[in-house]
């Protein structure tokens, strides 16, 4: 691929705070892969996980404002790194195919939400428009011998009627990308199992149980790190790993990377741009293994 592809870009609120390393590495990687991101001007919160639990029309209207911005900027596709934003934007689009629902949404908005704006994840665009083969050719620092557990989270691919990307039970797009980087992807049976979502604050035991299970399996499969595509999953597994350890009497020190961070390092981008210093569990031992591969790339 030669010319840059242009997409509307929706970073999402957590990208401005708790997942800034995801946001940063996403931008760096997209640039390196020839994907041009045009940030939606003055975008607002999509409602995240709470809005739909209160009202579906309100939730769709919060997404609708952002889709309108994309349309007025002449962008036909919006992409986002965050599966929660992705779900909201896509579900709103899907439900607004019903005219009755759409008219209720429009009543909450200054101007009617557009119909023709497509929504995709950044992962989908990297996988489908660039692809593992093109990525393999660009790798300068292969992740040789690194055993990684790919964890997609519950929302990225489900429900299939709405998300329309990869397999809802056993997605493989991130596996394929990681393999193209030279990594060993371990068999990971809990790829789409929920991590406890936003219950970290109101119902913490739920998170220590569910995320604990995810870490247990990654350890059992001898992974040296887990790889996520979701800010909430990353936060539960990384920042709360200490809480999980005390609740479950484990002693894990498993780095939890965003796939974009590892993609960036393999493409030879400066580590500074990838935000490794923002991770809670120290990633240095694993990163060192990348710099000094145990066996030379042939």
Partner 1 sequence: MEVINITKSYDPDFVAEVEAESEQNVRLCYQCGNCTAGCPYTFAYDIPVSQIMRLVQAGQKEKVLSCRSIWICATCESCTTRCPNDIDVARLMDVLRHMARRYNYNAVPTVRTFVDSFLNSVEKHGRVFEMGLMAAYMTKTGRFWTDTDLSPKVLPKGKLSFKPHRIQGRDEVAKIFERYKEQQR
Binding-site ranges for partner 1 (CB under 8 A): 13-14, 16-18, 20, 42-45, 47-58, 61-62, 65, 98, 107-110, 154-155, 158-160, 168-169, 192-194, 196-206, 209-210, 239-240, 242-243, 277-278, 280
DSSP labels, 207-236? HHHHHHHHHHHHHHTT-SEEEES-HHHHHH
C-beta of 159 vs 268, nearer to partner 1: 159
Per-residue DSSP letter, 130: I
Tell me the C-alpha distance between 154 and 214, whole Å.
Answer: 12
C-beta of 209 vs 220, nearer to partner 1: 209
Nearest distance from C-beta of residue 68 to partner 1, angstroms: 10
Return the number of other C-beta atoms located less than 10 Å from residue 14's C-beta. 21
Nearest distance from C-beta of residue 220 to partner 1, angstroms: 18
C-beta of 66 vs 173, nearer to partner 1: 66
Tell me the C-alpha distance between 67 and 62, whole Å.
Answer: 9
Nearest distance from C-beta of residue 159 to partner 1, angstroms: 5
C-beta of 193 vs 221, nearer to partner 1: 193
Write down the residue that tokens 């042939």 correspond to.
Answer: 298
Tell me the C-alpha distance between 201 and 203, whole Å.
Answer: 6
Tell me the C-alpha distance between 13 and 161, whole Å.
Answer: 26
C-beta of 6 vs 18, nearer to partner 1: 18
Nearest distance from C-beta of residue 67 to partner 1, angstroms: 13
């Amino acid at each position: 691929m030669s010319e840059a592809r242009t997409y509307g870009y929706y970073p999402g609120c957590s990208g401005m705070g708790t997942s800034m390393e995801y946001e940063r590495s996403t931008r760096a990687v997209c640039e390196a892969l020839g994907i041009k991101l045009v940030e939606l001007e003055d975008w607002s919160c999509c409602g995240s996980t709470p809005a739909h639990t209160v009202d579906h029309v309100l939730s769709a209207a919060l997404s609708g404002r952002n889709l309108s911005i994309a349309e007025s900027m002449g962008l036909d596709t919006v992409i986002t790194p965050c599966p929660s934003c992705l779900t909201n934007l896509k579900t709103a689009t899907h439900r607004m195919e019903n005219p009755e629902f759409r008219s209720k949404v429009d009543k909450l908005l200054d101007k009617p939400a557009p119909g023709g704006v497509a929504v995709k994840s950044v992962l989908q665009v990297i996988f489908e428009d660039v692809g593992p083969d093109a990525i393999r050719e660009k790798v300068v620092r292969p992740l040789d011998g690194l055993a990684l557990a790919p964890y997609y989270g519950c929302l990225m691919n489900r429900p299939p009627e709405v998300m329309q990307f990869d397999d809802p039970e056993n997605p493989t797009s991130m596996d394929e990308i990681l393999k193209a980087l030279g990594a060993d992807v371990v068999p990971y049976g809990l790829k789409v199992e929920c991590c406890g979502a936003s219950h970290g604050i109101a119902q913490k035991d739920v998170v220590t149980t569910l995320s604990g299970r995810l870490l247990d399996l990654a350890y059992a499969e001898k992974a040296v790190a887990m790889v996520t595509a979701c800010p909430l999953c990353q936060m539960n597994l990384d920042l709360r790993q200490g809480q999980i350890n005390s609740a479950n009497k484990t002693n894990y020190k498993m780095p939890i990377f965003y796939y974009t961070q590892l993609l960036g390092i393999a493409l030879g981008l400066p580590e500074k741009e990838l935000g490794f210093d923002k991770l809670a569990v120290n990633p240095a031992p694993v990163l060192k293994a990348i710099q000094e591969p145990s066996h030379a790339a042939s």
